[in-house]
A = this chain, B = another copy of it.
């Protein structure tokens, strides 16, 4: 059975050596001293390894079962959920007035990676609750906040988001679910929603559904969509639970993975709903939830890559097969461990260099969110808004590929469910799809984010990279190995952006044909930047003298691998982007 050990040391390195969080001028960051974050991460790591990880294969094997309208979650999920709730984990970064601990988002992100790596299907129950709570926090009335937030912060009640219908996923303007106004100010919601994660389950007394629906007579298409709070059980004025609402689970989907999470078809039959935010501005309110969810999904890509890598590494060290081509390294044993073989090493380095770069990228992104929300820094908001599709799309694509590499290290055993590697791959697969399929992320990036505010945010990104290069140009230790490759990659990104600007206006297809490559190119540059920053921090620690030399030297070796073996992918992406729309669109749809 696979295991999971929280990468606390690596997280501490990023938080303190690289991002230097406790010195940042962001409200709440002063308390993020190494001892404090270390203690929190230690505790979160413990519950991840000891409680959540052992339930991961249980969730996969048992799945969720719908019987007589009630969904039974896998054995042990409820007890673990209680334990997570009692630890206050779901509300780490929610406001104190609603029962949260008001810690920075960056800390919640580090903890989230651990929970997600240990058990993605399980973590979604409180992850989505957090997203729903955020939407209520941002758009709810005072009464809505006091009614729902304390119970959601504690996860006494969980939350869901309801967007998709059978005939409409990305194109929500086609939505049919309707919400008819009632005399008391509430609405009657009627329609069917599909792919509702955690839609129904047996772990809490109530479930708060956030549901997109159209108020009859409103504007056509996406402009006529509103957001509603639809509780499973209505809530009385005193906070106690009242009648069962007209919402039920019609079916649980059989999926490729995340079997431990109940993915439900939800039927709304005149269910009582309450408008959240403004009429017909439902998408705006939903986007509060979606942006957070997208970053959380990017993290899932990283998390599954991490847990898969840990197990692949253990297997590569343990499994004896063949001899090193340069001479036996385990001469007393019947064979050498797999890790002596260069191609196994190549695979492990691909995984390791991605994971550590991606973790820095995630935590830096989380810092930008804190800077934006807590510090009300508009530049940071612009930057994270630009990078949200990159975090979601790039990290989930790459994260998935890494689980496939990890599975491959196991050879035939990787294909056998008992060994657990297949689950990581199957679970990771969903992250490329939900919260907007990655093609939609690429479209969002190139079609919207790149040009928003006249391209201000992408220019700020380039300025930041240039600033970093300039600031460190005298650093010989960094120059050839880290700064030069970063500069080359960043030039490829600029050339791509330039290509879109020059060609995208007269032919939008010229830009959109390269959107997916651009998302990956951007991701590589971000990871290249992260590796350059981490290399700088590692050199600083080594120069200052450290008892942990092995750690910092490994960091440099891993970074060099990324710069030499992964980052050059930017040139390929640029070549593909610059080939424009012609190769992609030349064939008429009918000629396929």
Contacts and interface: CB of A to CB of B under 8 A. Distances in A.
Which secondary structure dominates where chain A touches chain B?
helix
A255 B346 contact: no
Given A414-B433, A415-B429, A447-B325, A583 B571 contact: no
A439 to B, nearest CB: 4
Nearest to A314: B592
Contacts of A349: 583-584, 587
Given A554-B591, A592-B313, A412 B325 contact: no
B342 A438 contact: no
Contacts of A171: 320-322, 335
A202 interface: no
B426 A170 contact: no
Interface stretch (A272-280, A505-513, A534-542): A505-513
A432 B411 contact: no
Nearest to A436: B411
Interface stretch (A81-89, A134-142, A416-424): A416-424
Interface string A560-581: 1100110011011001100101
A343 interface: yes
A575 B583 contact: no
- Identify which of A408, A412, A414 gathers the most chain B CB atoms within 10 Å of its CB: A412
A348 B408 CA distance: 26
Given A169-B412, A335-B171, A564 B583 contact: yes
Contacts of A589: 317, 337, 339-340
A557 B585 CA distance: 9
Closest 10 CB pairs of A and B: A342-B512, A256-B422, A343-B439, A561-B583, A171-B321, A325-B508, A557-B586, A564-B579, A254-B417, A342-B513
B411 A170 contact: yes
A1 to B, nearest CB: 14
Nearest to A442: B343
Given A342-B584, A586-B560, A437 B417 contact: no
Contacts of A322: 170-171
Interface of A: 164, 167-171, 174, 194-195, 253-257, 313, 317, 320-322, 325-326, 334-335, 337, 339-349, 352, 400, 404, 407-408, 411-412, 414-418, 422, 425-426, 429-430, 432-434, 437-439, 442-443, 447, 508-509, 512-513, 515-516, 550, 553-554, 557-558, 560-561, 564-565, 568-569, 571-572, 575-576, 579, 581, 583-587, 589, 591-592
A589 to B, nearest CB: 5
Contact of A342 (B437, B569, B581, B592): B581
A194 B412 CA distance: 10
B433 A412 contact: yes
A342 B576 CA distance: 13
Contact of A509 (B254, B256, B342, B415): B342
Contacts of A447: 325
A160 B447 CA distance: 54
A554 B587 contact: yes
B554 A415 contact: no
A438 B569 contact: no
A175 to B, nearest CB: 11
A558 B584 CA distance: 9
A512 B583 CA distance: 35
A408 B422 contact: no
B583 A344 contact: no
29 contacts: A174-B320, A174-B321, A256-B426, A325-B508, A325-B509, A339-B592, A342-B512, A342-B513, A342-B585, A343-B439, A343-B442, A343-B515, A343-B516, A344-B439, A345-B513, A345-B587, A346-B516, A352-B592, A408-B437, A414-B433, A415-B429, A425-B429, A426-B426, A557-B586, A557-B591, A561-B586, A568-B575, A569-B572, A571-B572
